[in-house]
Amino acid sequence: MRVIEVSLRRFRGFEDLTFQPAGHVALLGEPRAGRSDLIEGLRRALTSDGVRYTTPSELDFWMLDTDRRAEVEVVVGDLGAELEQDFLDHLEAWDIDRASLAGSRRPTDAGTDETAWVVRLCYRIEWDADQEQAVHWVDFPDESDPASGTYARVSRRLLDLLPVVVVGGRRRPLRLGPRSDFRRILDGVDGGSLAGAFDDLVDSVAEAGEALAKTTDIKTSVSKVLEPVEGPLGIDAADDTLVQFAPEGGSLSDVLRTLHPAIDLGPPGHLPLARHGATASALVQAGEAIAALHSTGVVVIVDDFGEDLDSISARHLAAVFRQDAEQSWISTRRSAAIEAFSPDEVLRLHFRDDSRQIAQLEPLTTKADRVAARHLSLQLLPAASAAVVVIVEGPHDRAALDALAVRRLRRSKKALPAAYGIVVIDAGVADGSGGASAVARLASLARRLGFHTIALIDGDKGVDGKTALAAAEAAADRVVRLPDGFAIERALVDGVADDVVISTVRVVCETFDVAVPPNLDTLTGKDLLKTVVAVLKKNGGLHAQFVDLLPPKNVPPMLRRTLEAIVDSGANRLTGVLQL
Amino acid sequence: MLVTGGAGTGKTTVALWAARTELERSHNASSRALFLTFSRTAVDQIITRSRSIVAPVEERIEVSTFHSFAYRLVRRFGHLAGLTDRNPEVQSASQLKLLGKAPDRLVYDDLAPLARRVLDNPQVAELLEQRWCMVICDEFQDTGDSQWELLERLGEHARLLLLGDEHQLIYGFLAKSGVTPQRMHDTRAWVDRAVELEPASHRDPSGAIPALATAVRQRRFSDPAVRDAIELDRFFVRSGVRDDSAVSAIGSALDAAWTRGCRTFGVFAHTNQSVAELSSRLAEAGIENYLVGLPDAEADALAAMLALTQYAYGEVDWPIVSVAFGTYLTACSRGAAPALARSLAAGTALPTVLQGRVDDLRAAVADAAASSLSDVADVAATAWVSLGINDSDAPWQRAAPAFQSLARQSARMPVGQTSTLSTAVSQLRLGAMFESRRRRLPAVQVMNLHQTKGREADAVVILCDDDDFHGREAEPFIEGSRLLYVTLTRARREVTVILGDDPHPLVAPLAALG
């Protein structure tokens, strides 16, 4: 089974949003842009627990507007023969080419192989003004009529047939209680030993309770308690069979619920799972979910994946989910987890004009496109939850800007760009070339993923410079261009007194084992700049070190202007070209 | 396979065993057995009693009437196959009878052929061909041509199990649609196997009632089997019962049966109109009962209440309401539309008293409309009684609470109250027409003779009215005698026939036995 379309209407922070995932889904996004709400919407629409064990409230309505229904509508396809038969009376035809419901077709169209059977489910919440509470349910929208308040509700039996595994939230692994994920795995194994073992368990607990009641000290104490009230109770306090000890509730499920897993992960031996720390618990939980994937066609839904995992485990487990589930929905802040997914599987939630949006890449069809997108998107991963990315030509640009930002934070308490949701990414890594064309490529991808994208380009002159500017302008929301003839190194020295530059370069050379250029003290103008460029590019780049070693009150003015322009463009979501 | 056998010889049980075997043998865990029948309630009862047989596969046995099965396919897939609109509307049988066919609506008879054509769509066919590994047709002797074509098509990918008894062919009036003895004859040659069940009855293991019924069918009223049944307290005849004492005669027959250990009861009368009246009169006499199989009348009652409501708000003119009343009256009558129904539909002059009541009703709904939709619904709920046309208000009363409840819900809508109500009513109507609601039934079920097929009860009471219409048949009453055979064999323990002063010749020879 696969979810092929999701519509969120007035559900929590979503006013009206429809999207169609391309296979698996890695769900990223800015904080508060709705990752958890989307996952919660899916959980409520696709599982019977979603309605049964959830209390809806005003907070589930968009803008707390309880006058209108909140809805999460989901189209599921690739049902497989069994589910198609189970949902026979609710199937609708999906036009594969148009990627929408087929609606009515003319007889001449019948029989062409362009439609697939799908089922549409709609989770709805309505405010009951009389009871002052929200009511919710899942129905088949095709057979329901909201205008007259008639809804064809989906029975719990049918919902439970959907192979959906939800991971996370308050779920705990290895629980024996009824309806737990572990019980589903147990039921799937069904080697025949379970029922007998459960019966034995209940019997032994009952026997142990009885034995306890028969010990002399207990008997004596019980009769002491009962003696004063034996008249009113109409009992004989000396009767030692009067009291027995049974577990609370006493039924099998009550007994099973009281049992918690204890696990031996080394000294001091068996401890309750929770006592081993969040990571161990999260790992076992993930293991349980993966075990549940062994039936075919499962949709796995994970919120906040990897919060409690180290990045290696997160990366591994995400890859397993993606491999074993027919469709995995993994919401995460961890870039390591996303590496398992192909770029067109990434859905990025973000804000545009204060409303929640979703961004996704169009399906990538050729291998070349996939490889290119993959390498480009790997660079964007660290920015997954940022709102703004600044794309610079190479590692030196980024190093210099970062160093200045940290220096300003330390010296004058100016907030880092990160405080505005701004992350600086270097385009050079993807193909090693860097340069303006790489900036445009990466900017274009970033923009398609819904980032507010700022391209920072050098002030190259001539035809190449013009071409680079045009490409950046086409790709990014905002272009910040250094003055004509400027690259980052010139921005580091421009406007700084020559003697300050010379003394700082000397310290850099001495500190990082670089030979001090001959005649350093005598250089000026272009010659000095040329020498500085040569030194800064040594040892894989000494730009940040140069910025750090500049004496107080000698911040390079062009570098500062550049940084301020970036922060201003990002924080205020400015567009167009800014020529410094 | 064709399985034949007399009433009570266990055809349904054989079919359930066959379905279970087939399902357990099937490698496809999602394949199902389809049980097509003329009365879903009847088969539901048998399944409930045969729980031990079907329990392991119960969820995979679908029981459906031909109509609702065909409608199910047409509604879900008709528009995809380009045959119908989305959610096509179905005209009730009485609308058809009274008004003729409306061009944009389906009638019952359209359904089976359309369902057959839905299966011409390759994608739908692929889906449906996997679904059933066995299709069982109950009362096969009564299938018409279009039903047979649908069965034959389903049989291309499923085993067909046909259950029939030529002695129970009682829908002879449908001969034009292909309901003839020829069906059984042709099929016997067509099937791979034909099995005749032993004549022993499982419904009445003593064999007294089957023997009685066979003798009556053959019109051998002096046969020892008839005398034996009377002597064994299996057969009772009360003759000379006047119309006004019929209810008390039924009551005492039921009481007596109760003291003899009977716990389920069937009360059969000849026409829809008479069973509807009978049902309300029994209820008045404190005998709680369930009126079987007037779903059309319920659906038409709903439509009439809706029309009256829309009239109250000026959305439709009175003639629409008048037609709706005529349709309801037709639904409660057997045979052609009654003259009064035709007058209502045509808007011609009504009897003075009735015209006065109609005027009062129009004034009453107009008044109610000034206050609220709920008030209008309350007037609509009692409208039929207030017209006093006849006593057949049972279906109307059964439909009224549902209508009132929908009206109260719609009244909460800030706008579009009547259109909201209209949509809700049309959905409810479909439910009524296709017998999709399940209810817990009282022990006493009241129905007309033609609806008794496939049903059974510990005790059966058959009320024969002097002016019952049994067609133009004369001795030896082939068709009528089959009908008697079917009704008599519904009883597991005993059967009572109640006759008037001057019984119809079909049943007159029974009077002498009383």
- Answer left, alpha or beta for residue A249, where phi above 0 means left and psi between -120 and 50 means alpha: left
A93 at B interface, C-beta within 8 A? yes
Q: Is 90 exceeded by the pLDDT of residue B426?
A: no
Mean of pLDDT values over A17-45: 93
- Token pair of A359, please? 């961004």
Distance (Å) of CA A321 to CA A262, A307, A515: 26, 16, 53
Pick from B60, B181, B179, B182: which is nearest to B131 by CA?
A: B60
The percent of chain A in helix, strand and coil, each rounded to the nearest 5, is 45, 20, 30
How far from each other are the two terminal CA atoms of chain A, in whole angstroms?
54
Judge whether residue A113 has pLDDT over 60: no
Residue B388 pLDDT greater than 90, yes or no: no
pLDDT per position as a tens digit, B135-149 = 999 889 888 899 999
- Nearest Cα to Cα of residue A478 among A438, A427, A443: A443
Token pair of A263 as six digits: 């696990």
Q: How far apart are CA B156 and CA B163, in angstroms?
A: 18
Task: Give yes or no for residue A524 having a pLDDT over 90.
Answer: no
Q: Rounded to an integer, what distance in angstroms lies between the CA atom of residue B279 and that of residue B297?
A: 14
Instruction: Report DSSP letters for B26-90, one per residue.
Output: -S-TT-EEEEEES-HHHHHHHHHHTHHHHGGGGGGEEEEEHHHHHHHHHHHHTTTTTSS-SS--E
> pLDDT: is A119 or A183 the higher one?
A119
Both tokens of A180, joined, read 């737990």
| Chain B residues within 8 A of A113 when measuring between CB atoms | 123
Task: List all residues of chain A from 150 to 209 with a beta carbon under 8 Å from chain B.
Answer: 150
pLDDT higher than threshold 80 for residue B276: no
Higher pLDDT among residues B402 and A65, named by residue: A65
Q: What is the mean pLDDT of chain A?
A: 88
- Which has more pLDDT, B335 or A203? A203
B415 in A contact zone (CB under 8 Å): no
Confidence of residue A107 (pLDDT cuts 50, 70, 90): very low
Q: Would you call B423 an interface residue with chain A, using a CB distance cutoff of 8 Å?
A: yes
List the single residue in A81, A108, A113 with the smallest CB-CB distance to B30: A81
CA distance A83 to chain B (A): 8
For residue B177, what pLDDT band results from cuts at 50, 70 and 90?
Answer: confident
- Segment A158-184 mean pLDDT: 82
Mutate to test the interface with B, among A126, A148, A150, A151 (most CBs of B within 10 A): A148
> In this predicted model, what pLDDT tens digit does every residue of B455-491 receive, in sequence order?
889 999 999 988 887 778 888 888 899 999 999 999 9
Parallel, antiparallel or unpaired: strands A422-426 and A388-392 = parallel
DSSP B176: G
Looking at residue A151, its pLDDT comes to 87
How many Å lie between the alpha carbon of B405 and the closest alpha carbon of chain A? 12
CA pair distance A392, A438, nearest whole angstrom: 9
Contact of A67 with chain B, judged by CB distance below 8 Å, is answered with: no
Side-chain-side CA neighbours of B111 within 13 Å: the count stands at: 22
DSSP annotation of B201: -
Q: Percent of chain B having pLDDT more than 70?
A: 95
Is pLDDT of B398 > 80?
Answer: no
Least-confidence region, from A141-155, B112-126, B241-255, B345-359: A141-155
Query: How far, CA to CA in Å, does B57 sit from each of A379, B46, B452?
Result: 56, 15, 28
* Buried-exposed string B364-385: b where 16+ CB fall within 10 A, e elsewhere: bbeebbeeebbbbbbbbbebbe
**Residue, of B109 and A65, whose pLDDT is higher:** A65
pLDDT tens profile A210-250: 888 888 898 888 888 888 888 888 888 888 788 888 777 66
Nearest residue to B246 via CA among B509, B501, B508, B470: B501
Residue A249 confidence (pLDDT): 67
E-state strands within A203-255: none
Q: How many Cα atoms sit within 13 Å of B374 on the Cβ side?
A: 6
- How far apart (Å, rounded) are the C-alpha atoms in residues B311 and B323? 12
pLDDT at B273: 60
Of A85, A106, A108, the CB nearest to B131: A85
pLDDT at residue B438 above 80?
Answer: no
| Position A374 confidence tier, pLDDT thresholds 50, 70, 90 | confident
**Beta pairing, strands A452-457 & A478-481:** parallel
- Most confident stretch, A294-298, A364-368, B153-157, B180-184: B153-157
Counting beta carbons within 10 angstroms of the beta carbon of residue A95, is it exposed (0 to 12), middle (13 to 18) or buried (19 or more)?
middle
DSSP B413: S
Average pLDDT (A320-337) is 90
Contact criterion met (CB < 8 Å) for B130 and A85: yes
Q: Which residue of B23, B26, B30 to mutate against A (max A Cβ within 10 Å)?
A: B30
Contacts of A85 in chain B (CB under 8 A): 30-32, 127, 130-131
State the Cα–Cα distance between residues B225 and A381, nearest whole angstrom.
91
Which pLDDT value is given to residue A295?
72
CA–CA gap between residue B485 and residue B479 (Å, rounded) = 10
In this prediction, residue A14 carries a pLDDT of 95
Does the bond joining A268 to the residue before it have cis omega, within 30 degrees of 0?
yes
Q: What was the pLDDT predicted at A167?
A: 84
CA angle B43, B265, B496 (to 5 degrees): 120
Distance from CA of A162 to the nearest CA of B (A): 14
CA distance B212 to B219: 10
User: Residue A23 has which token pair?
Assistant: 């296979």
Shortest CA distance from B86: residue in chain A: A104
Query: What are B163's strand-pairing partners?
Result: B3
pLDDT of residue B391: 64
pLDDT at A260: 86
Task: Report the C-alpha gap between A575 and A477 in whole angstroms.
Answer: 5
Which of residues A469 and A437 earns the better pLDDT score?
A469
